[in-house]
């Protein structure tokens, strides 16, 4: 499924936690480990990035040995940029290496403790041309190592699949169907249209029927499936359903119905990625 993965790292604690989970991604065989040195803003003492670069190379070799010890083919790369932006360097490497998935931690070395999504991750989400897995560890930090041991090896065990029945949402479902190791799927449709109670009830009825058909199809494919129809704001209902169901992952397409063609990622997906406390798999719609 995800045979070749790009993992950009800034050596933060978040990145290290993400690295420890890399081997649990279904189908992974090859990994490119990337560190980008941002030398676009020299200090008043001049260009002082030499020690950073050398230290990065040492750390990368350490990470490489660990990843090879769990059976992965590993390529490491330290890039230095004197112009441009870090996220663009990440995306250029993803395109050049033809990776099937980019994996990133939600946060980097930001000093703002309650930041929900770092700026580099945000821009990668917005502009990546391939699938993207954003890892989160808020629950790990709150519930200590017991939750970490459970959460990390079971990233794909219970997956929430929000759908608006659009073609891109169907692509996300098709991709998830092919991932090995999923124990349970949770289908969700959020009704956010209707001027009157009667219209809302009619839309809910229609959504339940469509979800029922989808549930039957996935059940016949061997999955244990739950389905929910909720009324309200899509990002809020997706996030709350993820919490209520204690899912290990939210998987959703970049786009749904009514998206503007010039936007690379729909507003619902962006909101979920920024605010969810769970890992999010962003499926790049064709």
Q: pLDDT value at position 154?
A: 77
**For residue 217, is pLDDT > 90?**
yes
Lowest mean pLDDT among 71-75, 199-203, 265-269: 265-269
CATH fold match for the domains 4-137 and 156-283: yes
Render pLDDT for 64-99 as a digit per residue (tens, 0 to 9).
999 999 999 999 999 999 899 999 999 999 999 999
Q: How confident is the model at residue 147 (pLDDT cuts 50, 70, 90)?
A: very low
Length of the chain (residues): 286
Q: pLDDT value at position 125?
A: 87
Higher pLDDT, 244 or 38: 244
Token pair belonging to 177: 């169907």
DSSP string, 139-208: HHHHHHHHHHHHHGGGTTTEEEEE--S-HHHHHHHHHHHT-TT--EEEEEEEE---SSHHHHHHHHHHHH
**For residue 176, is pLDDT > 80?**
yes
pTM of the model: 0.87
Distances (CA, A) of 107 to 140, 244, 274: 14, 24, 10
Superfamily of domain 4-137: HUPs (3.40.50.620)
Q: How confident is the model at residue 141 (pLDDT cuts 50, 70, 90)?
A: very low
% of the chain surpassing 70 pLDDT: 84
In the CATH scheme, what architecture does the domain 156-283 have?
3-Layer(aba) Sandwich (3.40)
Domain ranges of the chain: 4-137, 156-283
Helical residues (DSSP H) of the chain, grouped into ranges: 13-21, 50-69, 86-97, 119-127, 138-151, 167-177, 197-220, 234-245, 267-275
Q: pLDDT value at position 259?
A: 41
Q: pLDDT value at position 146?
A: 42
Q: pLDDT value at position 256?
A: 65
Q: How far apart are the first and last CA of the chain?
A: 17
Higher pLDDT, 120 or 153: 120
Render pLDDT for 24-41 as a digit per residue (tens, 0 to 9).
888 899 999 999 988 887
Q: pLDDT value at position 137?
A: 63
CB 223 within 8 A of CB 232: no
According to the per-residue pLDDT averaged within each range, which of 11-25, 128-142, 196-210 is highest? 196-210
Lowest mean pLDDT among 17-21, 140-144, 198-202: 140-144
Torsion of CA 124, 127, 133, 134, to 10 degrees: 40
């Amino acid at each position: 499924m995800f045979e070749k993965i790009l993992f950009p790292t800034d050596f933060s604690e978040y990145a290290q936690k993400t690295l420890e989970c890399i081997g649990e991604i279904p189908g992974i065989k090859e990994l490119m480990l990337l560190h980008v040195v941002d030398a676009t803003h020299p200090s008043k003492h001049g260009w002082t990035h030499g020690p950073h670069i050398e230290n990065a190379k040492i750390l990368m070799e350490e990470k490489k040995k660990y990843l090879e010890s769990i059976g992965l083919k590993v390529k490491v790369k330290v890039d230095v940029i004197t112009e441009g932006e870090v996220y663009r360097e990440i995306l250029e490497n993803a395109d050049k290496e033809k990776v099937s998935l980019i994996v990133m931690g939600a946060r980097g070395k930001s000093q703002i403790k309650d930041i929900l999504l770092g700026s580099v991750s945000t821009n990668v989400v917005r502009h990546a041309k391939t699938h993207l897995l954003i890892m989160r560890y808020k629950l790990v930090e709150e519930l200590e190592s017991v939750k970490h041991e459970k959460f990390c090896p079971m990233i794909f065990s219970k997956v929430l699949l929000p759908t608006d029945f659009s073609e891109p949402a169907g692509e996300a479902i098709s991709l998830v169907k092919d991932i090995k190791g999923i124990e349970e799927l949770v289908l969700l449709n959020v009704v956010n249209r209707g001027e009157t109670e009667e219209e809302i009830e009619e839309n809910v009825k229609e959504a339940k029927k469509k979800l029922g058909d989808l549930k039957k199809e996935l059940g016949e494919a061997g999955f244990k499936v739950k389905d929910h129809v909720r009324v309200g704001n899509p990002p809020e209902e997706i996030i709350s359903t993820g919490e209520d169901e204690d899912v290990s992952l939210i998987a959703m397409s970049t786009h749904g119905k009514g998206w503007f063609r010039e936007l690379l990622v729909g507003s619902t997906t962006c909101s979920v990625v920024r605010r969810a406390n769970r890992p999010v798999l962003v499926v790049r719609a064709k």
